[in-house]
């Protein structure tokens, strides 16, 4: 793929705060526009799942970073934490991009779990010029209610009421075994005070993470922009409306050029 797009691809590594080795591809087109995008994949996937988006952005001159999330692909990590630890990992990758490629702007795009991780990283990483997130959940608790309902063929009300003890036990077990408080995993909470421009994309036919999750996030922060895509299922916007998706995503990034001072944290 890289030679086809006249690009150089390298496997790169950074060290997470807990000592985990995180791996990614860095892809640099020969004709760069001066900006970079970090692409974050979903649960049980790896960087390969973001190849289509990488090609789209390489054609527009963006430098691309494609990490494997912790406990995914070639990256270390005992367990995926849905953004609890990954938020800091994303900050580490931001610093790597800044120091190695010196872009004018760094943008982010994530899908599903990667979208939720990206949004939660905004509490610690405020230097993104803008981010876009497709099919994010609003909080791990809220998506847990959905999972219970999906298992029994009902709505999330079942997890919130009669089977709520099952959800509570799962959180308690995880905290006891891994010393991780997954109850705090919440893109909705992270976006309450962020000043980074956020664009949410969600398929109206998403049967995995219902559209109401993006609606809940946007309701908490009026500056968040939401695009609900007709006919699109989970992470299916690019398939349902390919030309509009590319135009809208690129336009979102171009509309938020940022500044070198902001990138450097000044």
Tokens linked to 30: 């020969």
Paired with 107 in beta bridges are: 37, 130
Considering the chain, what is the average pLDDT of its residues? 95
> In whole angstroms, what is the distance from residue 107 CA to residue 262 CA?
13
Residues of the chain with pLDDT under 50: 261, 266
At which of 168, 184, 200 does a domain end? Answer: 184
Asked if 49 and 111 sit in the same domain, the reply is yes
At which of 184, 200, 217 does a domain end? Answer: 184
Asked if 205 and 120 sit in the same domain, the reply is yes
Q: What angle separates helix 242-254 from helix 51-58, to the nearest 10 degrees?
A: 60
DSSP annotation of 102 reads -
Dihedrals phi, psi of 171, to nearest 5 degrees: -65, -40
Asked if 134 and 33 sit in the same domain, the reply is yes
Domain extent at residue 75: 3-138+186-263
Q: What pLDDT sits at residue 132? A: 98
Q: What pLDDT sits at residue 124? A: 85
At which of 156, 184, 212 does a domain end? Answer: 184
* DSSP H/E element including 94: helix 86-101
Asked if 41 and 159 sit in the same domain, the reply is no
Q: Using an 8 Å Cβ cutoff, are 114 and 40 in contact?
A: yes
Q: What pLDDT sits at residue 193? A: 87
Q: Using an 8 Å Cβ cutoff, are 211 and 168 in contact?
A: no
Q: What pLDDT, in 10s, does the model give residues 78-109?
A: 899 999 999 999 999 999 999 999 999 999 99
> In whole angstroms, what is the distance from residue 180 CA to residue 70 CA?
15
Q: What pLDDT sits at residue 266? A: 42
């Amino acid at each position: 793929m890289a030679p086809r797009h006249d690009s150089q691809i390298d496997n790169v590594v950074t060290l997470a705060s807990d000592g985990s080795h995180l791996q990614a591809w860095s892809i640099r087109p020969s004709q760069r526009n001066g900006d970079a995008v970090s692409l974050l994949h979903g649960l049980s996937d790896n960087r390969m799942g973001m190849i289509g988006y990488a090609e789209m952005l390489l054609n527009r001159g963006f430098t691309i970073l494609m990490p494997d999330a912790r406990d995914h692909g070639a990256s270390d990590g005992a367990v995926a934490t849905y953004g609890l630890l990954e938020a800091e990992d994303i900050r580490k990758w931001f610093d790597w991009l800044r120091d190695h490629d010196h872009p004018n702007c760094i943008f982010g795009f994530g899908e599903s779990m990667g979208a939720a991780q990206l949004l939660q990283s905004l509490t610690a990483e405020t230097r993104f010029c803008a981010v876009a997130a497709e099919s994010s959940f609003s909080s791990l608790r809220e998506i847990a209610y959905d999972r219970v309902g999906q298992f029994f063929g009902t709505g999330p009300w079942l997890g919130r009421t009669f089977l709520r003890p099952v959800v509570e036990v799962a959180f308690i077990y995880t905290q006891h075994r891994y010393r991780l408080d997954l109850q705090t995993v919440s893109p909705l909470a992270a976006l309450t005070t962020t000043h980074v421009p956020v664009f949410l994309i969600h398929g109206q036919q998403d049967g995995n993470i219902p559209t109401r999750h993006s609606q809940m996030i946007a309701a908490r922060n009026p500056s968040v922009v939401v695009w609900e895509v007709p006919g699109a299922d989970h992470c299916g916007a690019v398939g349902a409306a390919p030309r509009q998706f590319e135009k809208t995503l690129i336009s979102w990034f171009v509309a938020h050029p940022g500044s070198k001072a902001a990138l450097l944290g000044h």
